[in-house]
Amino acid sequence: MVLQQSPFLSLPSAGNLATMRLPRKHSLVKGNNVIHRYHGFTLIEILIVIAIIGILMAIMFPVLMKAHSVGQRTGCLSNLHQLAIAPMLYSDDHAEQFPNSNDSFLWTGQHWRQLLDAYVGNRQSFWCPADVNAARQFDSTCYAYKQTCFHADADISVGTGSIRTATDLAYHSCGTPPQTRLLSQELYPAHKILIYEWTTNHDATRRTMWDATGGHNVVFADGHAARVQEEALPASTLGDHDPNWTVGGLAGMDE
């Protein structure tokens, strides 16, 4: 008869807890008999394995978060590239004109979105993957349409002289009546920002579109999307780096 060791262990005393071995079954075939042997890990060995797993997780978590952040930023740039196509399609239907509704706040949220909604194939393009609040707090889009595309160059060039109200000042909006602009009046499409993040969630803290620091994802009028540092942009007619107030207006350069 083959004797088999019981797989059940009696409860260990406190003094034997650290050396307790958890059962691990191995079967060996010897002749016509199957011999079962039980081995195990001590509690200390298990704790060491858990500690190693914890260290590996601590090392990998920042790497995974960075990869997630890079993925969101890439998705945001893809959105902007898709959105840049919409004004071009609009201009094809409107005698080569930039979108304009004679609304001084056309640059914000749904104001410009209403004009271009029909030209955007995927509505998810209006939201940056990193911004979970845009649909509720920012007029259902993360992005802004440049004021230079629907205001006269002269009105942009005078800076604060075109800011008429406290609301204009709060939002850096040009208070003069909008004017329809033509694509032909844009001299440097590869250097002219068309649409960019109203707020950005890609830095440690959220940045507004006229912050002097931090990066923003933008798309230029020629369709290429890129990430720019706000402080690296030329000084605007307001003395900051807001590309809504580019020196020269639509005919000027944003980088």
Q: Where are the domains of the chain?
A: 69-251
Name the residue among 14, 15, 13, 21 with its Cα closest to residue 44: 21
Most confident of 32-36, 205-209, 224-228: 224-228
pLDDT at 22: 47
Average pLDDT, the chain: 80
Using 50, 70 and 90 to split pLDDT, how confident is the model at 155?
A: very high
200, 228 Cβ separation under 8 angstroms: no
Kindly report which listed range (34-48, 72-86, 99-113, 143-157) carries the lowest average pLDDT score: 34-48
- Cα 198 from Cα 133, distance rounded (Å): 12
pLDDT at 96: 95
**Interval 181-193 mean pLDDT:** 94
- Cα 80 from Cα 46, distance rounded (Å): 50
pLDDT at 25: 52
- Cα 133 from Cα 126, distance rounded (Å): 12
80, 196 Cβ separation under 8 angstroms: yes
Using 50, 70 and 90 to split pLDDT, how confident is the model at 101?
A: very high
**Interval 242-254 mean pLDDT:** 92
Give the single-character DSSP code of 98. P
pLDDT at 230: 79
More confident residue, 230 or 183: 183
- Cα 133 from Cα 71, distance rounded (Å): 18
pLDDT at 56: 83
pLDDT at 242: 86
Distances 173 to 65, 124, 148, 215, 243 between C-alpha atoms, Å: 36, 27, 11, 21, 12
**Interval 35-60 mean pLDDT:** 77
pLDDT at 225: 93
- Cα 121 from Cα 26, distance rounded (Å): 61
Kindly report which listed range (36-50, 119-133, 187-201) carries the lowest average pLDDT score: 36-50
215, 203 Cβ separation under 8 angstroms: yes
**Interval 209-217 mean pLDDT:** 67
137, 198 Cβ separation under 8 angstroms: no
pLDDT at 17: 46
Q: b/e map of 121-146 (b: 16 or more CB within 10 Å)? A: eeeebbbbbbbeebeeebbebbbbbb
Kindly report which listed range (54-63, 96-105, 234-243) carries the lowest average pLDDT score: 54-63
